[in-house]
Amino acid sequence: MPSRYIFAALALLCVAMMFISYTTGFAGETLGRISGYIFVPFEQGINAVGGWAREKADSLEDLADAQARSEELQAQVDELTLENSRLTQNQYRLEELEELYELDETYSEYNKVAANIIASDAGNWFNTFVIDKGASDGIAEDMNVIAGSGLVGIVTKVGDNWAQVRSIIDDMSNVSAQVLSTSDLCFVKGDLQLMETGLIQLSQLRDPEGEASIGDTIVTSYVSDKYHAGILIGYINELTLDSNNLTRSGTLTPAVDFEHLHSVLVITDLKQTIEEE
């Protein structure tokens, strides 16, 4: 059979897969499940070697004991920062809403699963990564992923023993957020052009009075249908008035250091949304 026919057939198959993927959200789940068992053990192995090398390098710098303690304290600081941002938000919301109605919503402690990053996107265009926990550990699509005290991203694909996470600095990421102090809504978008500076885009901040200022905390908003409310995203770095004179946009510094990210926490509670009829 001439190879151009094979090529045409393969190309047609790919286009059909793209079409099906676009219309039905099919993402090769069965393939992913099978290949997970082939790749994940190797990736975990390489990751373990990398982790071991990292640890060796660390212990040269300071004592293992101090390191363990600082890790412990860091975890506590992260926990407290997370709780603090939640509580601060609670307070602002409380003041606002107390007069309106009795607030029965509480931010209960989220259930979390720790996971290691075992592979990063093979190309240079996107910022997705693969973690070593999957459906068998209770991970499902659209779960929020955090590291330390800040938002990392969201689970976009799940295999049995792996899951794909799209980080908030990815060019396709778009998170509905709000300024903690004023509760003004905005969008946080990843941008490849800003990647090297370590910043992400902040846009459509509805703040005509200019109440938000540089350094203000940005958290996920309550209107988002996938992200839990009140997770720390970062701090405003720059703000300018848009040409429409109504909204502001700028950049923000994420709370998570994406350059040195090795392990993450997956919040296994999905955000509860009202089912659409």
Chain residues binding another protein by CB under 8 A are 3-4, 6-7, 10-11, 13-18, 20-22, 26-28, 31-32, 35, 38-39, 42-43, 46-47, 50, 118-126, 128, 130, 156, 162, 164, 171-172, 192-193, 195-196
Q: How far is the CB of 195 from another protein (least distance, A)?
A: 7
Taking the C-alpha atoms of residue 245 and residue 150, their distance in angstroms, rounded to an integer, is 31
- CB nearer to another protein: give 17 or 94: 17
Tell the smallest beta-carbon distance from residue 30 to another protein (Å).
Answer: 10
Nearer to another protein, 38 or 60 (CB): 38
Measured from the CB atom, the residue of 17 and 80 that comes closer to another protein is 17
- Least Cβ distance, residue 60 to another protein (angstroms): 18
Around 218, how many Cα atoms within 13 Å sit in the side-chain half-sphere? 33
Could you list the beta-strand ranges (E) of 141-216.
Answer: 144-147, 150-158, 163-167, 174-179, 185-189, 200-206
- For another protein, the closer CB: 48 or 80: 48
- Exposed, middle or buried, 77 (CB in 10 Å: 0-12/13-18/19+)? middle
Which residue lies nearer to another protein by CB, 145 or 236? Answer: 145
- Shortest Å, Cβ 7 to another protein: 5
In angstroms, what is the minimal distance from the CB of 121 to another protein? 5
Partners of residue 220 on adjacent β-strands: 177
d(CA 144, CA 115): 13
Q: Confirm if 155 and 145 have CB atoms less than 8 A apart.
A: yes
CB of 75 to another protein, least distance (A): 24
Residue 164 and residue 7: Cα distance in Å, rounded?
Answer: 30
Closest contact distance (angstroms) between CB of 150 and another protein is: 20
Closer residue to another protein (CB): 7 or 75: 7
Mapped onto helix, strand or coil, the DSSP state of residue 78 is helix
What residues are paired with 217 via a beta bridge?
235
Report phi then psi at 17, rounded to 5: -60, -40
Query: Which residue is listed with tokens 């946080």?
Result: 188
DSSP 4-55: HHHHHHHHHHHHHHHHHHHHH----HHHHHHHHHHHHHHHHHHHHHHHHHHH
CB of 21 to another protein, least distance (A): 4
Minimum CB distance to another protein smaller for 21 or for 91: 21
Nearer to another protein, 45 or 210 (CB): 45
Cα of 122 vs its chain's centroid, Å: 19
